[in-house]
Each structure stands twice: as C-alpha cells, then as structure tokens.
C-alpha cells in the first residue's frame, strides 16, 4: 500500500479504539502530532506506538499554540463529543469522531449546523459501511438489482455486558446515555440500513429489556450478578437488549434485534434485505461474502477479495478521508454521511421514547 497522506492529527482519548485509529492513521501516512488524555500513563502508552514522538497533553484546550495539525480524532465517551467537536470546528479543524455523533439530538443538530457553516471535513466512524461487500450491496440495492426493498432485518449480538464486566460510563444514564445497546450497537445496524438503501426513516418503534435490574459493583469497578460483603448495588438504568422497528420513506419495513448480553457471541452482526425480485445478506463474521438470490430456487455466495476485519474497515475509512487538501472542504459524500449520523441520533432517542410509550410507533 502507498502512503499518500502527510497530514498531522491530534487524538483525543487513549483507550482501545484510539489504538485502532493510530494503527490506521500510520498506515495511511498520517503523523500523530499530539495525544490528549486525562490519564498521562495511558497517553504515553499509546504514544510509544507512534513513529514520531507526539506531544502529550491532559487538556485539549491547552494544546501548544504552535502545534501544527489539520484534523482531530475524538475517541472518548459520546457525552464529551459535543464540547470537543464544537471547540475544534470553531478552530477550523477537520474532525473524525467515534460513533455515535453524540447522545443528545439537539447537540447532533448543532454540530451538523456548525460543520455545514464551516464546510469542514467530518467523519463519523460507522466502519461497517467501509467493508467492500457493503459498498457493493449499497450500489446494487439502490440500482434495484433485486427489485424494490420490502423488508430489512438484522441482528447484532455481543457478550460485552454479561457479568463479570467493568463498570463504565455506559451504565450511567445521568450522563445522557439513556440508551445503551441501542446507541452502541443498534446504531451500527441503523447506519447500514441507511447506507444500503439510501432511504429515510419515517417512524420508530422499540421495546427494551434489562437482563438484571440490579448488578453489584466491586471496589475494583467490576460488575457481577451476586452481592458480596465488599460490593455495592447498582441499579441498571438502561437496556441490555432492544427490539427496534423502523418504517422507511419508501414504506419498506425494518426489524432490528440487538443484545449486549448474548452468551458466546463476541461480535456478531447480520443484515438481510428481502426485495421484490431477490434477497441479499451480509455478516461481519464472513465479511468478504455476499449471499444473494434473484430466483425462487437458487442462492449463491459471492466472495470479494480477502476476508476483512474491523481494523481493515478503519483503514478503508481513513484512506477515503485522507489526505486532506491544504484547504479541505466538506464533500457531498461526507455531508450525506453526517446527515445520516444525525438522523441516527434522532432514531436512537425515538427508540427510547417509544419504549416508554409501550412500543408505540413515533414519527421521526
């Protein structure tokens, strides 16, 4: 692969996903100019993997004034996205944000407005749309290869929040995280539905399930099912499982089932479209394969290149985003993806409201 970008970037946050960003950034030729994290040890650990030693900082507002960089990668909890993104947009920097864009619809709409006004490049890391198979499916569905889309159904299962599991911001609705399985993993399916069809969502219905109403937190911050003399109870304020139904502008229906408490499932995403003249299916567990059928009796599998993983999809994302020109502008493709990410935030909040309303369909 030829490295084509010489852009300098700042990474905000030094956790697991920041390491994924760093690997892909260096693969496309970007230089990490600074790493910002309140935990200096975490920032230094990430910096050790950089080809050139970056500046280490604990506060993004205290980055050296003379520091040169074109883009900022925001790899922190979604509740912090809005303030950080607004700060750097107002300073003329391109943005790469981990999903979701934010947790609050009003914040998402404000970021959309600012990005459009500033005309700055922006990328929200819904990485599944960057698998080669999904790019091909999107083109084929919108060209009506299998006819009109009638129904899409998808599942996303993880074992991530089966105890024992670390306590984190994800369990804290008071920080705006009213949805958990929905904003974390259903949002990926919602993005793929948008990307595959190019369609808008008109109505949302949802029901949530909690595996346990109470978990028990140890002094080390580990959540478990059973109390011990050293644990304290934690009331679970958001869902482990969700069923979401969407109605698209085309009248196609969507059914999504997501679970963060599925035994034996590390990370399993599946999406299927049933159309008037065929069917197509994709799974991240066999990411280079498209299962399709255009006849009543015959189904086939098309393999596209080598099997890809999450890190490959991040590399493809950043190859698309970089290099930034000396005077980078928001592209129409980036604007469409931004609009979809804003709609995604609105859908997730409507899912929360629908669950409170016993699964009623709500207009978006």
Task: Give the model's confidence band at 2: pLDDT under 50 very low, under 70 low, under 90 confident, else very high.
Answer: very low
74, 84, 159, 170, 202 from 79: Cα distances, Å = 11, 10, 23, 10, 26
Question: What's the CATH code of the domain at 81?
Answer: 3.40.50.720
CB 11 within 8 A of CB 32: yes
Is position 3 within any domain? Answer: no
Is position 55 within any domain? Answer: yes
Is position 1 within any domain? Answer: no
Distance from C-alpha of 305 to C-alpha of 301, rounded to nearest angstrom: 13
Is position 264 within any domain? Answer: yes
Task: Give the model's confidence band at 256: pLDDT under 50 very low, under 70 low, under 90 confident, else very high.
Answer: very high
SS3 192: helix
Is position 2 within any domain? Answer: no
Distance from C-alpha of 362 to C-alpha of 354, rounded to nearest angstrom: 7
Is position 100 within any domain? Answer: yes
User: How many residues are there in the chain?
Assistant: 364
Distance from C-alpha of 234 to C-alpha of 63, rounded to nearest angstrom: 37
Residues 65 and 172 in one domain: no
SS3 202: strand
Residues 123 and 228 in one domain: no
Residues 77 and 159 in one domain: no
Tokens of 271: 């999406």
| Percent of the chain residues topping a pLDDT of 90 | 92
Residues 171 and 209 in one domain: yes
pLDDT at 3 over 60: no
Is position 149 within any domain? Answer: yes
Residues 55 and 156 in one domain: no
Is position 337 within any domain? Answer: no
318-330 pLDDT per residue, tens: 999 999 988 889 9
Tokens of 258: 């997501």
148-203 pLDDT per residue, tens: 999 999 999 999 999 999 999 999 887 788 999 999 999 999 999 999 999 999 99
Residues 356 and 246 in one domain: yes
Query: Do β-strands 300-303 and 289-293 pair in parallel, antiparallel, or remain unpaired?
Result: antiparallel
Neighbours of 196 (CB within 10 A): 22
Question: What's the CATH code of the domain at 240?
Answer: 3.30.360.10
Residues 221 and 161 in one domain: yes
Output DSSP code: residue 98: P
Residues 43 and 92 in one domain: yes
Tokens of 287: 């990411």
User: Residues near 181 by Cβ (< 8 Å), separated by ≥ 6?
Assistant: 208, 238, 239, 240, 241, 242, 258, 259, 260
49-76 pLDDT per residue, tens: 999 999 999 999 999 999 999 999 999 9
SS3 124: strand
pLDDT at 142 over 80: yes
Count of structural domains, the chain: 2
CB 89 within 8 A of CB 114: yes
Residues 136 and 274 in one domain: yes
Output DSSP code: residue 146: T
Range of the domain at 303: 131-309+343-363
Residues 146 and 78 in one domain: no
Distance from C-alpha of 325 to C-alpha of 355, rounded to nearest angstrom: 45
What pLDDT is attached to residue 172?
87
Tokens 């950034």 correspond to what residue? Answer: 25
Report the largest interatomic distance among the alpha carbons of the chain, rounded to a whole angstrom.
66
CA nearest to 345, candidates 124, 85, 159: 124
What pLDDT is attached to residue 257?
98
Residues 185 and 93 in one domain: no
Residues 140 and 209 in one domain: yes
């Amino acid at each position: 692969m030829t490295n084509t970008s010489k852009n300098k970037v700042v990474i905000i946050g030094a956790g697991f996903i920041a390491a994924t960003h760093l690997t892909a950034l260096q693969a496309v030729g970007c230089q990490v100019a600074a790493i910002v994290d309140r935990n200096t040890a975490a920032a230094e650990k990430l910096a050790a993997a950089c080809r050139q030693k970056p500046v280490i900082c604990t506060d993004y507002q205290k980055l050296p004034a003379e520091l040169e960089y074109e883009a900022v990668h925001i790899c922190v909890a979604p509740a912090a996205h809005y303030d950080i993104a607004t700060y750097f947009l107002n300073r003329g920097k391109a943005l790469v944000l981990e999903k979701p864009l934010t947790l609050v619809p009003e914040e998402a709409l404000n970021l959309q407005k600012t990005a459009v006004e500033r005309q700055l490049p922006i990328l929200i890391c819904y990485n599944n749309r960057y698998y080669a198979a999904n790019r091909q499916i999107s083109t084929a569905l919108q060209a009506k290869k299998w006819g009109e889309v009638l129904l899409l159904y998808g599942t996303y299962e993880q074992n991530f929040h089966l105890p024992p599991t670390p306590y984190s911001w994800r369990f804290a609705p008071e920080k705006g995280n009213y949805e958990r399985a929905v904003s974390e993993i259903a949002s990926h399916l919602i993005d793929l539905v948008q990307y595959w069809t190019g369609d808008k969502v008109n109505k949302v219905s949802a029901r949530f399930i909690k595996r346990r109403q109470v978990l028990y937190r140890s002094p080390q911050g580990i959540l478990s099912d059973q109390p011990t003399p050293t644990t304290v109870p934690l009331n679970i304020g958001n869902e482990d499982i969700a069923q979401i139904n969407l109605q698209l502008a085309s009248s196609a229906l969507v059914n999504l089932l997501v679970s963060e408490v599925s035994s034996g499932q590390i990370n399993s995403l599946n999406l299927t479209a049933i159309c008037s003249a065929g069917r197509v299916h994709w799974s991240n567990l066999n990411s280079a394969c498209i299962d399709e059928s255009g006849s009543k009796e015959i189904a086939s599998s098309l393999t596209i290149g080598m099997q890809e993983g999450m890190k490959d999809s991040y590399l493809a994302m950043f190859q698309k985003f970089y290099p930034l020109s000396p005077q980078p502008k928001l592209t129409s493709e980036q604007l469409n993806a931004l609009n979809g990410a804003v709609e995604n935030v609105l859908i997730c909040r409507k899912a929360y409201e629908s669950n409170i309303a016993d699964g009623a369909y709500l207009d978006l």
